[in-house]
Amino acid sequence: MSSSKFFGSGLIVIASVLLLPHTALAQQTSAIAGVVRDTSGAVLPGVTVEAASPVLIEKVRTVVTDDQGRYNIVNLVPGTYSVTFTLPGFNTLKRDGVQLTSGFTAAVNADLPVGELQETVTVSGASPLVDTQNVRKQTLITSDQLDALPTSTKNWATIVEVTPGFAGSFADVAGQLNQNIGNSYHGKTGTKRQFDGMSIDHASGNVGYLVNSAMIQEISLQSSGISAESNADGSVVNMIPKEGSNRFSGALSGLYTSDTFESSNLNDDLRSRGLTTISKILKIYDTGVTLGGPIRKDKLWFFASFREWGNRHLMAGNFWNKTQGSPFYTPDLSHPADRAQWYESKAARVTWQAAQKHKFNFFADVADDCLCRAIGALGSAPEAGIAFHFRPVGLYQADWSAPITPKLLFEAGGSLTITHWPTFLNPGVQPNHISILELSNNFRYNASATYASKRATDRGAQRFSVSYVTGSHAYKIGTQIEEAVSDVITFVQQDVNYSFRNSIPTSITQYATPYRAIDRTRADMGVYFQDQWAIRRLTLNYGARFDYFNGHVDANHLDAPASGWVPARDFAAVSGVPAWKDINPRFGASYDLSGNGKTALKFSIGRYVAKTGTAVAGANDPVTTSVNSITRTWTDVNGNYVPDCDLKSRVANGECGPMSDPNFGGLSPTTHWADDVLRGWGVRNSNWDLSTEIQRELRDGVSLTAGYYRNWYGNFTVTDNLLRAPGDFSSYCVTAPLNANLPGGGGYQVCGMSDISVAKFTQVDNLVTQSSHYGDQKQINNFLSLGINTRLRSGASFGGGVDTGRTMTDNCFVVDAPGIAAGSVTAPQTATTVSGVSNASPPTRRATRRSHARSGATSARAAAGRRARRRRLFPS
C-alpha cells in the first residue's frame, strides 16, 4: 500500500578507507594450467613453473611440467599472479597479470625461445575468461559488487536471486536480514549454502548462519556440472572468506534510512475503504568496521569485521490489542503492528603459515540475532506472532592444506554451525494469556498457538581430501561428513487454546506440553574419487561418489505436565530413519575448439541425491506422532469465558464435551513409512542433471556463454490411506452461478467432485511408499541460457543474460479418491497425502511452466505454470 523510496536521496552512505587500499583475500580452489613448448612446437618436459602473488602467504608455488609438457598448479587463492617458466638452455619467460577468480582454471601456455644468456622475457596480455578445463557452470559475485550494488543491507542473497535461472520470490528490499534464496534453479531444488566449502545450513535445511558480507571476498554459484566433491542436487552457493595480507588495511562503512524519506499512496479513496495506515519502513541501518593485516609478516595474518545491521517497519491494517489478556480483541488504532530485528556479527579469520608446506586457517563469528518484535502471520494480531532470539548462534571453522610435494596435496577442514533460536512472548503477552482463534474470520489473537522454549538446530561438517596432480591428470579422493541435530521443546500457554465464533466460545484444544523431540542426522557422508585428464585439446572430468545418509531419533523421557492431563511418558529410540545408500557417477568433457583457449565446448552429466535434513527422522519420531493435542466442545453457559468443567476428565462433563481422542498422550501414529522409502540402495529422491555449453571469448575482457540444460527426477513418494477404498467416496455435482462471463451464462452442472463417507471420515492409516507402485511419475526440466560477461581493464565489470525453460510434471496415477487430481506426490522429505481413485476418463490436461530471467544493472523475471496430468484407475 505504499511506495518506498528508502534509497537514493534517503540513503546516507559513509565509507572511509583507512591506512592502505583494501587487499583482503580468500581461500578457494583455483588453478593455473597449460602446456610449455619450444618455438618449433615441440613439448618441453622438466620446465620449472612458478606462480607468484602477494595473495599467497608462502609467496610462490612451484611445479614441473610432465613428459607431455603439461603443468597444473592447483589450490590457488583468487588474486593476480605472475607465472614464470624456467629451463636450462632456454630464456626464462614470465607472464604477468594473470587474474584468478574462485574455482577458475586459467590456461597459460608458453613457448620458450632458445637462449644461452640467462635473460627473462616478460609478456603481458588480458587474463583468460574461458575455462577450457572445468565443466561446471559457475557465476561469481565479488566483494566489490556486494559493496557497489543497491541490495538493501548488502545482502548477498538478493544478488544471487537475480542470477538468470533462479526461480524464487525472495528479494530483500526492506532490510529483513533474510538469507534464504530461490525455490529452484532450472527446476532443481535443494540449494546448498556453504562458507569456505563447508555447509552452513541448519538441521532443517534452511540457512543456519547469516553471513556477514564484509567477510566475503567472492561468492561462487555453481548450478550444473557439479563435480563428485559435492552432494548438492540443485546448486551450490559458496561464500569464500577474506584473508589478511602483509599490509594493514581497513574500512568503516555505514548506511541509514528512515520513514522521513518514504512516500505514501494513502488517499481518501483508501481511507473510505477502511485503511487508516500504510506499511512503511521506520528505519534500516547497517554499520561496520573491518581491519586486516600481518601479525607476523609472511607467517601470520588476520582479517576481522564487526558489523551490526537491522530494521524496523510497520504493517498496514493490523494493530496491537488494546484489550490484551481479555477474551476479546480490540484494535488499538494508535498502535499499528510493527516488526523490529537486529543482527550483530563479530567475525575474525586468522591465516597461519606454520611451515613452508603447512597452512592453517581459523575462522570464528560470534553472532547475535534478535527478532524482538514479530508481526504475526497473515490473519493474526501482532501479539500472536512469535519473537525469536538467536543466541547462541555463530560459525566456527578450521582448515589445513599441505602441498607436500609439487604433485601431492593434502586438505582437511572442520566446521560447526550453531543455531539456537528459542521463541519468546511478544511485548504485552503474559504467561497466563491464552491463544484464541476467532473462527468467523480465522483470526488469532492474545498469544501464539504454540511456542518453543528451546530450538537447537546445529550442524557439523568435516572434509578431507588427497590430490595427486601431474601435468595431465588431477586425481582427487576425499570424504565429506555432516551431522545435524534438531532439539526442540514445544510448549503452549496454559497448555490450552480457545476457539470462538463471533466472540462466543465453541471449543477447547488441550495440549500435552511441554514435550521435547530430538531428531538427528547421524551421518550425511560422501566418499568420492575424481580426475581431470587433459588429452591435447580435450579435458575429461570424471568421478563417482558413494553417498550414505542415516537419521536417528533419540530415546526420550517426558515428565508429566503441570496440567496433569497426561502422565509421564517414555519413548524408545528409533534408528535408520532413513538409512540410504547411493552410487552417483559424474562425467564431463571440455574441448578447446580453437586451440588458443578462447573457445570451449562443454558437456556434463551426473546423478545427484536430494538435500535432506532431519525432517524424515522427525516424521518418524514417536514423540511428535503421539496424540499431543485433542479438542472438545465448550458451551459457555454462564458467559464467564472460563471452561467450567474438569479438563482432566476424558468424558463429557460440565460445559465441556468429551475428548476427541481418548488416547490423549498415547502413541497413535497415523502415518507409517514403508521400507522401500526409508532404507536401501538407490531409493533416495534423486535427479540426473545434463548440460551442454559453448563459451567464446569475443575479445579481450568479453566472453559469451550459451547452453542447454536438462534434468529429471526419480524416486517420488505418495501417501496412501489404507483404510479408504474407492467405494468409500460418493460423487456429487454443484450448479454454477448465473453469470454472463461464464459459458452459456452459467447455471450448468459442475460434476466430478467426491465426498468421503461419514464412517470413513476420521479413519486414517497412511502409508508413505514409492509412487512407482501406483504408476509413473515424471518431472523433466529443459532450459536454454545465454549470458555475457565483461571484465574491463579499468576494473569495471558488466554481466547479463537471459534464461528460459519449461518444466513438465506428468503424474499418471491417482490413489483412492475420485475427483482428486493426480500430482500430490512429493520427495521423501515432505510426504503429503493423496487419496482417491478416478471413476471416469477425464480429458488429459497439459501445461507448461516457463521462467525467464535477465540480469545486469537490473533484473526481470516472469513465470507461467504448466502441469501435465493423466488419471488411471487403481485399487487401494
**Cα 159 from Cα 151, distance rounded (Å):** 7
pLDDT of residue 402: 93
Please tell me whether residue 215 adopts helix, strand or coil conformation: helix
Same domain, 733 and 644: no
658 burial (CB, 10 Å; 0-12 / 13-18 / 19+) is middle
Q: How many CB atoms lie within 10 A of CB 185?
A: 31
pLDDT of residue 831: 31
pLDDT digits (tens, 9 = 90+) for 573-590: 999 999 999 999 999 999
108 pLDDT band (50/70/90 cuts)?
A: very high
pLDDT of residue 825: 36
Please tell me whether residue 100 adopts helix, strand or coil conformation: strand
pLDDT digits (tens, 9 = 90+) for 393-403: 999 999 999 99
Which cell is 24 given? 583482503
> CA dihedral in degrees (14, 18, 23, 27; nearest 10)?
-70
Residue 405 resides in a domain: yes
Last residue of a domain, one of 243, 263, 285: 243
Mean pLDDT in residue range 523-549: 96
Q: Which helix (DSSP H) or strand (DSSP E) does residue 86 occupy?
A: strand 79-86
Instruction: Please check whether residue 699 is in contact with residue 743, taking contact to mean a CB–CB distance below 8 angstroms.
Output: no
Contacts of residue 28, Cβ cutoff 8 Å, sequence gap at least 6 = 77, 78, 102, 103, 196, 197, 218, 220, 238, 240
Which cell is 49 given? 613453473
**Cα 727 from Cα 733, distance rounded (Å):** 17
Confidence check: pLDDT of 786 > 90: yes
Contacts of residue 547, Cβ cutoff 8 Å, sequence gap at least 6 = 231, 525, 526, 580, 581, 582, 583, 584, 609, 684
- Looking at per-residue pLDDT, the higher value among 312 and 89 belongs to 312
In the predicted model, what is the mean pLDDT of the chain? 84
Which cell is 294 given? 600481518
Maximum average pLDDT range among 7-21, 217-231, 543-557: 543-557
Long-range contacts formed by 348-351: CB under 8 A, 24+ apart: 348/302, 348/303, 348/304, 348/305, 349/215, 349/241, 349/242, 349/243, 349/244, 349/302, 349/303, 349/304, 350/244, 350/295, 350/300, 350/301, 350/302, 351/57, 351/243, 351/244, 351/300, 351/301, 351/302
**Residue 811 pairs with which residues in a beta bridge?**
777, 869
Same domain, 834 and 693: no
pLDDT of residue 864: 30
Residue 18 resides in a domain: no
Confidence check: pLDDT of 356 > 50: yes
Residue 436 resides in a domain: yes
Q: pTM of this prediction? A: 0.84
Domain of 170: which CATH number? 2.170.130.10
Confidence check: pLDDT of 855 > 70: no
pLDDT of residue 120: 63
pLDDT of residue 817: 60
Instruction: Please check whether residue 483 is in contact with residue 521, taking contact to mean a CB–CB distance below 8 angstroms.
Output: yes
Residue 488 resides in a domain: yes
What percent of the chain has pLDDT above 90?
54
Instruction: Please check whether residue 809 is in contact with residue 823, taking contact to mean a CB–CB distance below 8 angstroms.
Output: yes
151 pLDDT band (50/70/90 cuts)?
A: low
Instruction: Please check whether residue 342 is in contact with residue 310, taking contact to mean a CB–CB distance below 8 angstroms.
Output: yes
- Start-end of H helices in 525-606: none
- Looking at per-residue pLDDT, the higher value among 161 and 94 belongs to 94
pLDDT of residue 233: 85
Q: How far is CA 383 from CA 304, 374, 443, 653, in A?
A: 39, 8, 12, 32
Confidence check: pLDDT of 629 > 50: yes
pLDDT digits (tens, 9 = 90+) for 208-255: 888 898 999 888 888 899 999 998 888 888 989 999 999 999 999 888
Instruction: Please check whether residue 125 is in contact with residue 97, taking contact to mean a CB–CB distance below 8 angstroms.
Output: yes
> CA dihedral in degrees (41, 45, 46, 49; nearest 10)?
60
Give helix then strand counts, H and E, for the chain: 5, 53
Same domain, 337 and 442: yes
Confidence check: pLDDT of 609 > 60: yes
**Cα 532 from Cα 176, distance rounded (Å):** 42
**Cα 617 from Cα 615, distance rounded (Å):** 5
Same domain, 708 and 722: no
> How far is C-alpha 568 from the geometric centre of its chain's CA atoms?
38
Print the SS3 string covering 658-704.
CCCCCCCCCECCCEEECHHHHEEECCCCEEEEEEEEEEEEEECCEEE
- Looking at per-residue pLDDT, the higher value among 211 and 170 belongs to 211
pLDDT of residue 471: 87
36 burial (CB, 10 Å; 0-12 / 13-18 / 19+) is buried
Last residue of a domain, one of 193, 223, 243: 243
pLDDT of residue 844: 30
377 pLDDT band (50/70/90 cuts)?
A: low
- Looking at per-residue pLDDT, the higher value among 468 and 148 belongs to 468
Confidence check: pLDDT of 759 > 90: no
868 pLDDT band (50/70/90 cuts)?
A: very low
Confidence check: pLDDT of 871 > 50: no
pLDDT of residue 128: 84
Strand ranges, E, within 117-233: 120-124, 137-142, 166-167, 184-185, 192-195, 198-199, 216-224
Residue 626 resides in a domain: no
Residue 9 resides in a domain: no
**Cα 250 from Cα 293, distance rounded (Å):** 9
Which cell is 416 given? 560447526
549 pLDDT band (50/70/90 cuts)?
A: very high
Report how many domains make up the chain: 4
Same domain, 675 and 809: no
Confidence check: pLDDT of 321 > 80: yes
118 pLDDT band (50/70/90 cuts)?
A: low
Q: How far is CA 806 from CA 505, 714, 782, 810, 876, in A?
A: 50, 18, 5, 13, 33
The C-alpha cell 607472464 sits at 95
Same domain, 473 and 608: yes
pLDDT of residue 22: 36
Same domain, 370 and 427: yes
Mean pLDDT in residue range 117-123: 63
Domain of 428: which CATH number? 2.40.170
- In this structure, which amino acid lies at residue 642? V
Q: How far is CA 291 from CA 217, 242, 584, in A?
A: 14, 11, 43
Task: Bin 186: left if φ > 0, else alpha if -120 < ψ < 50, else beta.
Answer: left
Same domain, 108 and 186: no
Closest CA to 873 of 846, 845, 836, 843: 836
Q: How far is CA 456 from CA 202, 343, 460, 485, in A?
A: 9, 18, 13, 7
Nearest 5 degrees, angle CA 148-CA 706-CA 599? 95
- Tell me the residue range of the domain where 35 lies: 25-124
Mean pLDDT in residue range 752-771: 86
Confidence check: pLDDT of 293 > 80: yes
Mean pLDDT in residue range 798-803: 85
- Looking at per-residue pLDDT, the higher value among 156 and 492 belongs to 492
Residue 469 resides in a domain: yes
pLDDT of residue 183: 60
What percent of the chain has pLDDT above 70?
85
Confidence check: pLDDT of 803 > 80: yes
pLDDT of residue 781: 94
pLDDT digits (tens, 9 = 90+) for 429-455: 999 999 999 999 999 999 999 999 999
858 pLDDT band (50/70/90 cuts)?
A: very low
Q: What share of the chain is helix, strand, coil (3-state, %, to 5)?
A: 5, 55, 40
Mean pLDDT in residue range 100-112: 89
Same domain, 232 and 281: no
572 pLDDT band (50/70/90 cuts)?
A: very high
811 pLDDT band (50/70/90 cuts)?
A: confident
Strand ranges, E, within 322-456: 331-355, 358-373, 387-403, 408-419, 423-424, 435-438, 443-445, 451-456
149 pLDDT band (50/70/90 cuts)?
A: low
Last residue of a domain, one of 243, 259, 293: 243
Same domain, 337 and 455: yes
876 pLDDT band (50/70/90 cuts)?
A: very low
Same domain, 231 and 259: no
Domain of 98: which CATH number? 2.60.40.1120
> CA dihedral in degrees (428, 433, 434, 440; nearest 10)?
-50
**Cα 510 from Cα 367, distance rounded (Å):** 37
- In this structure, which amino acid lies at residue 221? L
Q: In terms of DSSP bridges, do strands 599-609 and 686-699 run parallel, antiparallel, or are they unpaired?
A: antiparallel
- Least confident interval from 22-26, 614-618, 723-727: 22-26
Instruction: Please check whether residue 578 is in contact with residue 678, taking contact to mean a CB–CB distance below 8 angstroms.
Output: yes
Residue 627 resides in a domain: no
Closest CA to 195 of 159, 226, 233, 239: 239
**Cα 530 from Cα 231, distance rounded (Å):** 14
pLDDT of residue 841: 29
Q: In terms of DSSP bridges, do strands 556-558 and 504-511 run parallel, antiparallel, or are they unpaired?
A: unpaired
Confidence check: pLDDT of 24 > 70: no
pLDDT of residue 144: 75
501 pLDDT band (50/70/90 cuts)?
A: very high
Same domain, 236 and 343: no
pLDDT digits (tens, 9 = 90+) for 689-727: 999 999 999 988 899 999 999 999 999 998 888 888 888
